[in-house]
């Protein structure tokens, strides 16, 4: 029996290549991840246009867009709504909340959302509140899922992106709530990869908490 062929393809995981797909957006047809080649991008889905929680999230992403850009990242939204619905919703936000949504929003028919695991089988055609952070090589580096009734923390998405960028640039890891760690009062210190040889472990003794737990300032 050919079990591999019979198995259904599951949702993508951290470390997987972002699938190549052509999508219809409020900024025209785009091919992902090619459109953001060499850049980070943040893809986030919402259950539906013209819903209150989603509106608060989109306003938050729009207000933080410059901070994402400063980290070399672009934003792109998604839901299973037609593109004219997206356009009308963007107009409503601008007219009523005085916030411009300048990033594109994907109008998905459902196939791409299903491939990405963004449609819950028990929630009809609504997409979940998913966040994917994709790196400049097109690799999925972070996935966050929230239920429909709980709005996301856009500051956390921004923090996670900053942590990923910093980790890649400096080959380090980040403690809890970096750069404001309180659990061990590390603040903005970062974690050096553990020693991988006996010799290196000996050199690390007396530094930090132990040879496997050493921190430093950037």
Q: What angle do CA 18, 20, 24 make, to 5 degrees?
A: 110
Look-up: residue for tokens 């190549």?
A: 20
Last residue of a domain, one of 108, 127, 153: 153
Are 63 and 101 in contact by the 8 Å Cβ rule? The answer is: no
Which pair of structure tokens corresponds to residue 118?
């963004």
Q: What distance in Å separates the CA atoms of residue 12 and residue 50, rounded to the nearest whole number?
A: 28
Are 100 and 188 in contact by the 8 Å Cβ rule? The answer is: no
If 0-12 CB within 10 Å is exposed, 13-18 middle and 19+ buried, where does residue 32 land?
buried
What CATH number did the domain enclosing 203 receive?
Answer: 3.30.1020.10
Q: What is the mean pLDDT of the chain?
A: 91
Q: Which of 43-47, 94-98, 193-197 has the largest mean confidence?
A: 94-98
8-state DSSP, 177 = T
What CATH number did the domain enclosing 90 receive?
Answer: 3.40.30.10
Total tally of structural domains belonging to the chain: 2
pLDDT in tens, 108-132: 988 899 889 888 766 666 788 999 9
Are 108 and 79 in contact by the 8 Å Cβ rule? The answer is: yes
Same domain, 143 and 206: no
What are the counts of helices (DSSP H) followed by strands (DSSP E) for the chain? 7, 9
- List % helix, strand, coil for the chain (3-state, nearest 5): 35, 25, 40
pLDDT in tens, 80-102: 899 999 999 999 999 999 999 99
What does the pLDDT average to over 39-57? 94
pLDDT in tens, 146-165: 988 899 999 999 999 999 99
Same domain, 109 and 149: yes
pTM, two decimals, is: 0.90
Domain of 202? Answer: 171-218
Residues marked as catalytic: 54
Same domain, 68 and 110: yes
């Amino acid at each position: 029996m050919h079990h591999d062929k019979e198995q259904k393809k599951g949702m993508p995981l951290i470390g997987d290549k972002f699938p190549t797909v052509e999508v219809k957006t409020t900024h025209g047809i785009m091919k992902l991840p090619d459109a953001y080649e060499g850049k980070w991008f943040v893809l986030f889905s919402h259950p539906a246009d013209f819903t209150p929680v989603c509106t608060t999230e989109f306003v938050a992403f729009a207000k933080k867009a410059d901070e994402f850009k400063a980290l070399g990242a672009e934003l792109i939204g998604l839901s299973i709504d037609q593109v004219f619905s997206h356009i009308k919703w963007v107009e409503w936000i601008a007219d009523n909340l005085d916030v411009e949504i300048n990033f594109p929003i994907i109008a998905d028919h459902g196939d791409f959302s299903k491939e990405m695991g963004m449609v819950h089988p028990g929630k009809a055609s609504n997409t979940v509140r998913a966040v994917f952070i994709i790196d400049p090589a097109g690799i999925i580096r972070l996935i966050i899922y929230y239920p429909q009734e709980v709005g996301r923390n856009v500051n956390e998405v921004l923090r996670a992106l900053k942590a990923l960028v910093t980790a890649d640039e400096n080959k380090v890891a980040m403690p809890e709530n970096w750069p404001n760690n309180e659990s061990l009062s590390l603040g903005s210190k970062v974690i050096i990869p553990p020693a991988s040889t006996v010799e290196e472990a000996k050199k690390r003794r007396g530094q930090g908490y132990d040879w496997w737990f050493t921190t430093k300032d950037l």
